[in-house]
Amino acid sequence: MDQIAVLLPQESVSVLVGTAHDTARRFADTQFEGKCCYKDSSGKRLHQPFVCSVDASRKQLVHDNELPKTLRELQDIPKQLARVADQLEKLLSRSENEV
């Protein structure tokens, strides 16, 4: 990993930062807590506690880029509507034959 995504104190996000959605599915424990220790530019040691929960991410869309999947599903809508129309025609035909 050559980069680290950062949130400043008091900031939060509702999506995972710097990782794929499938990461959330790989871990049984859904909450991580710890302390990030570092030195500032003057050499002073600092630490920042953090809590990271992937519970919300487990319920989110699972594809990193939903656009291709969505477009494919939209292309299926006319086919599905045609199937529904065919079934309705068959039902209508049956009901007319019974009368």
Specify the pTM.
Answer: 0.33
* Predicted pLDDT at 64: 55
* Binned average pLDDT, 10 residues per bin, the chain of 99 residues: 65 60 63 86 88 67 64 88 93 83
Taking alpha carbons only, the member of 62, 65, 54, 66 closest to residue 16 is 54
* Predicted pLDDT at 1: 44
Kindly state whether residues 58 and 77 are assigned to the same domain.
no
Kindly state whether residues 51 and 87 are assigned to the same domain.
no
* Predicted pLDDT at 29: 67
Taking alpha carbons only, the member of 14, 50, 54, 11 closest to residue 31 is 54
* Predicted pLDDT at 4: 60
Kindly state whether residues 2 and 50 are assigned to the same domain.
yes
Kindly state whether residues 5 and 42 are assigned to the same domain.
yes
Q: 3 is in which domain, residue-wise?
A: 1-62
Using the CB atoms, write b or e for 13-48: b if 16+ within 10 Å.
eeebeeeebeebeeeeeeeeeeeeeeeeeeeeeeee
Kindly state whether residues 19 and 58 are assigned to the same domain.
yes
